[in-house]
Amino acid sequence: MRRSFLLLMVLTCLLGTACAARADLRLVHAERSLYREVLVYENGDVRCMCFTRNCRVGRQSCLNTRHPDRIVMNYPQLMLGALFVNPAPRSVLIVGLGGGTIPRALRQMLPDVQIDVVEIDPAVVRVAKRYFGFAASAQTRVIESDGRVYVKRAHRTGQRYDLIMLDAFDHEYIPEHLLTQEFLEEVKSLLAPGGVLAANTFSSSRLYEHESVTYEKVFEKFFNLKRDNRVIVARPGSLPDAAQLRANATRFAAAFDSFGFDVNEVLPLFSQQRDWNPRARVLTDQYSPANLLNLDR
């Protein structure tokens, strides 16, 4: 029992949730969709969406039920750091809904922004609305579609976004077809001038070097934000310097405080240091062996 508890804590910390979580999870909802089992667990004041029983492979999204405006997990904090690169997006595309933490936060900070959320699983949308306070509207559209299919269609219609956030996961990791150079080129084509991409990945996996060189192939340079998860922030062309990042960050200091964290916790994480093997093989539609490489756990 002790060994299982420690394993749960290690997985929890690696996947970006509070390391103080306890093993006494209470199941409050379960439903099986076409794609997965969608489960909701509570542990004290923390409610989490998981795709595996007892959240054994991490949490997709978490909510503090007593303080729902607070952001519980680390990775959404890093994803919102993309606003330090482009502080005034008018249109946002989010691939992967989870519990809807990121679109809810963006709506609070940028009330006039148009947000399109692409989520393949209708069950996730239902659970996000019922248990995590997510609400769709004319300004926050939900499109039930595979992320890559939507990106291809949006490109054909000439759609452009100022900010694109990739946050699609299955019960193990990012789906293979959303990891490749071809997909990232398609995403890049949807960026408006000055547009920014933020992508949630793992900070430790056997795919780390392959993912890194693939993003490097498409964007040349990017910011590599690492805490529990790794968030890649990129845009075509040059990246802002530290002074510009700080100036943009100050615009969101009050909002971040209301979410329970400080912009100064995120700013030092904006690194361009290359910590991967540049000779690693780029992931392509012909070479995307996520299921063969497996993740370190």
pLDDT 10s digits, 237-262: 999 999 999 999 999 999 999 999 99
- Position 275 scores a pLDDT of 95
pLDDT 10s digits, 115-172: 999 999 999 999 999 999 999 999 999 999 999 999 999 999 999 999 999 999 987 8
pLDDT at 11 over 50: no
Structure tokens at 290: 């996520």
Architecture of the domain defined by 74-289: 3-Layer(aba) Sandwich (3.40)
- Position 21 scores a pLDDT of 43
Rounded to two decimals, the pTM is: 0.90
Full DSSP string of 41-91: EEETTEEEEESSGGGTT--SEEEESSSTTSB-SHHHHHHHGGGGTSS--SE
Higher pLDDT, 204 or 189: 189
Identify whether 228 is a catalytic site residue: no
pLDDT 10s digits, 199-221: 999 888 889 999 999 999 999 99
- State the catalytic residue, choosing from 121, 162, 167, 228: 167
Full DSSP string of the chain: -HHHHHHHHHHHHHTTS-TT--S--EEEEEEE-SS-EEEEEEETTEEEEESSGGGTT--SEEEESSSTTSB-SHHHHHHHGGGGTSS--SEEEEE--TTSHHHHHHHHH-TT-EEEEEES-HHHHHHHHHHS-----SSEEEEES-HHHHHHHHHHTT--EEEEEE----SSSS-GGGSSHHHHHHHHTTEEEEEEEEEEEESSSTTHHHHHHHHHHHHS--EEEESSEEEEEE-SSPPP-HHHHHHHHHTTHHHHHHTTS-HHHHGGG------S-TTSPPP-SS---HHHH----
